[in-house]
A and B are shown apart, each in its own frame.
Chain A
């Protein structure tokens, strides 16, 4: 396995600076690159002072929701006499997203350092890194790095000789997209089925093992040491759209594009330049058609809408979509949008935990209807049914998996209705088929 591209001159490599450098994976190599100085400094500080710096940096959660990290940490009441926990969400399963995988593969100590600082800042002695079960290589790399850090006394009962306890453990998942939802992740870690919990209570009140818990994404935590080393102002100043969105962000790019991979740019970067310059534009002889820019859960946009975007949390919303996890899926003019959206719906139908009726039934119905349209058996009423279904699936369930199925599909039908209608008009003569769905089946 290798990292497929060298950093582009217009990238701002902070988190990705050492991607592809095997020495950065080792403790000695990481220390030689300035590693663990932030943790050393943090353990001499008051936890609230660390939270204040993270607040001032403007760092927002990189997992998808974009919640301000410092504010989230401030919900943890230090000295309340309860155990506190930090969970690191490394269940990266959102289609189109593969950035946390690379952070763990190449810079495991950055994540350990971020976890240790985060745990200390929220008054936790234990942090669990929940990694999806399919990530065998990242798990092995993280386990090796943790063993090194533990043996060197960086984490453990006497972290860096300060007498403070900070334990960090890897917990391996077993194949369930929904465990990336924070409360499902906690259930899974507790040895339960990964069903999301009703909120409130929020994790900061009652989370893992019923105790106050903070849960942060891998990329969020990996940014923490850089913020402590360089200061909140440095992090804010990096962004072109400060103060709304600050810092740098890893974007995973996949689908029909010349140079897929991870790219780290500052917030506010031009999406048009990103797509055509950094990512090399479309494949030879093709044109970009549509994008799902924040992992498959966000609304579909046209290439024209995408070209107008400044890449920050607000910029994506202005064009009717979301930054989400930063997983950019690109479809070119050779792709059938009905077929691609049917496949996305099937993903959600497969991954629904089946607790809520709207989601369990809705995702399955939506898939069935879309596959029927793709098979050339659809009707115009089917499109209306999908819109009705999506209404019934949005904002009515315990978690947002159900909403996530409707968002790309409904926006995709709205923007590419002609492709759906062409399949419906040409009933029974469609040449586009879904894998596993025989043409003509209903």
Chain B
């Protein structure tokens, strides 16, 4: 199967709902294609490379669109619907664009008794995100609650993109935000 851009052709112009044409991640000869082939070789069934492939898409694009699901499906021999079924199962895959700094505050029990709900409030207040799950008007931040980050002894842990910040208190929030690169 060819692996070119797989979005259906769309009429040019700015019609309502018009999207930019999808640009493939795993183009022929690209580093991502080589990387994906290397990962496929680790498994007896290439479908096992699905989660890794989706991670690559999210790293490059920030989220996983339906066009990207189709492309990944083409690469691994499964349908776009199958890929969507998998994407929707896992909470870390974004099905829509999110803020540049994706902030996940753990509020599960051990963190709750350490005051995690106040940390959530502080992040909402200082980022300008109006509510959990919304992106700030400047597009810089999204704040969500997350279930157990597995760092309960360092409550409250906060995951910001790839980094886990430990022992966060409301007072530390402004400094943490100031330290994020634009």
Known: A191-B76, A327-B152. A343 touches B89 (CB 8 A): no
- Whether the pair B159, A191 counts as a contact (CB closer than 8 A) is no
Q: Which of A38-46, A170-178, A316-324 contacts the other chain?
A: A170-178
Q: Which of A193, A260, A261, A262 contacts B89 (CB 8 A)?
A: A193
Smallest CB separation, B87 vs chain A (Å): 9
Q: Does B7 contact A (CB under 8 A)?
A: no
Q: Which of B16-24, B26-34, B143-151 contacts the other chain?
A: B143-151
Q: Chain B 91-127, CB within 8 Å of chain A: the 1/0 string?
A: 1110000000000100111101110010010000000
Chain B residues with a Cβ under 8 A of chain A = 42-45, 47-52, 54-55, 76, 78, 85-86, 89-93, 104, 107-110, 112-114, 117, 120, 132, 145-155, 159, 162-164, 166
Q: How far is the CA of A327 from the CA of B117 in the complex (A)?
A: 22
Q: How far is the CA of A340 from the CA of B107 in the complex (A)?
A: 11
- Whether the pair A95, B108 counts as a contact (CB closer than 8 A) is yes
Known: A254-B110, A350-B147. A97 touches B152 (CB 8 A): yes
- Whether the pair A260, B148 counts as a contact (CB closer than 8 A) is no
Q: Which of B78, B90, B107, B132 contacts A175 (CB 8 A)?
A: B90
Q: Does A246 contact B (CB under 8 A)?
A: no
Q: Which of A10-18, A59-67, A134-142 contacts the other chain?
A: A134-142
Query: In the assembled complex, which residues on chain B have CB atoms less than 8 Å from the CB atom of A95?
Result: 108-110, 147-148, 152
Query: In the assembled complex, which residues on chain B have CB atoms less than 8 Å from the CB atom of A1?
Result: 164, 166
Interface size on A, residues (CB 8 A): 61
Q: Does A96 contact B (CB under 8 A)?
A: yes
Query: In the assembled complex, which residues on chain A have CB atoms less than 8 Å from the CB atom of B43?
Result: 209
Query: In the assembled complex, which residues on chain A have CB atoms less than 8 Å from the CB atom of B164?
Result: 1, 134, 136-137
Q: Chain A 270-294, CB within 8 Å of chain B: the 1/0 string?
A: 0000000000000000000000100
Smallest CB separation, A196 vs chain B (Å): 12
Given A93-B147, A254-B110, A329-B110, 6 other A-B contacts at CB below 8 A? A98-B153, A136-B164, A172-B52, A174-B91, A177-B148, A343-B109
Query: In the assembled complex, which residues on chain A have CB atoms less than 8 Å from the CB atom of B150?
Result: 92-93, 97-98, 100-101, 132, 134-135
Q: How far is the CA of A315 from the CA of B51 in the complex (A)?
A: 40
- Whether the pair A343, B51 counts as a contact (CB closer than 8 A) is no
Smallest CB separation, B134 vs chain A (Å): 14
Q: How far is the CA of A194 from the CA of B85 in the complex (A)?
A: 11
Query: In the assembled complex, which residues on chain A have CB atoms less than 8 Å from the CB atom of B52?
Result: 171-172
Chain A residues with a Cβ under 8 A of chain B = 1, 4, 83, 92-98, 100-101, 126, 132-137, 167, 169, 171-177, 188-194, 209, 252-256, 260-262, 292, 296, 327, 329, 331-332, 335, 339-340, 343-344, 347, 350-351, 353, 435-436
Residue of A nearest to B108 (CB): A95
- Whether the pair B148, A188 counts as a contact (CB closer than 8 A) is no
Residue of A nearest to B131 (CB): A436
Residue of A nearest to B85 (CB): A193
Known: A4-B154, A172-B55, A173-B90. A347 touches B113 (CB 8 A): no
Q: How far is the CA of A351 from the CA of B90 in the complex (A)?
A: 10
Residue of A nearest to B49 (CB): A191
Query: In the assembled complex, which residues on chain A have CB atoms less than 8 Å from the CB atom of B47?
Result: 190-192
Query: In the assembled complex, which residues on chain B have CB atoms less than 8 Å from the CB atom of A255?
Result: 109-110, 113-114, 152
Q: How far is the CA of A262 from the CA of B151 in the complex (A)?
A: 11
Known: A93-B150, A255-B114, A347-B147. A136 touches B86 (CB 8 A): no
- Whether the pair B155, A101 counts as a contact (CB closer than 8 A) is no
Q: How far is the CA of A436 from the CA of B117 in the complex (A)?
A: 10
Query: In the assembled complex, which residues on chain B have CB atoms less than 8 Å from the CB atom of A435?
Result: 107, 112, 117, 120, 145
- Whether the pair B113, A93 counts as a contact (CB closer than 8 A) is no
Query: In the assembled complex, which residues on chain A have CB atoms less than 8 Å from the CB atom of B109?
Result: 95-96, 255, 292, 296, 329, 340, 343-344, 347
- Whether the pair A171, B152 counts as a contact (CB closer than 8 A) is no
Residue of B nearest to A327 (CB): B152
Q: How far is the CA of A190 from the CA of B51 in the complex (A)?
A: 9
A-B contacts, 27 of them at CB < 8 A, read A4-B153, A4-B154, A96-B109, A98-B150, A133-B90, A134-B104, A135-B150, A167-B42, A169-B42, A172-B55, A174-B55, A175-B93, A190-B47, A191-B48, A191-B51, A194-B90, A209-B44, A209-B48, A254-B110, A254-B152, A255-B152, A256-B114, A260-B155, A292-B109, A296-B109, A435-B107, A435-B112
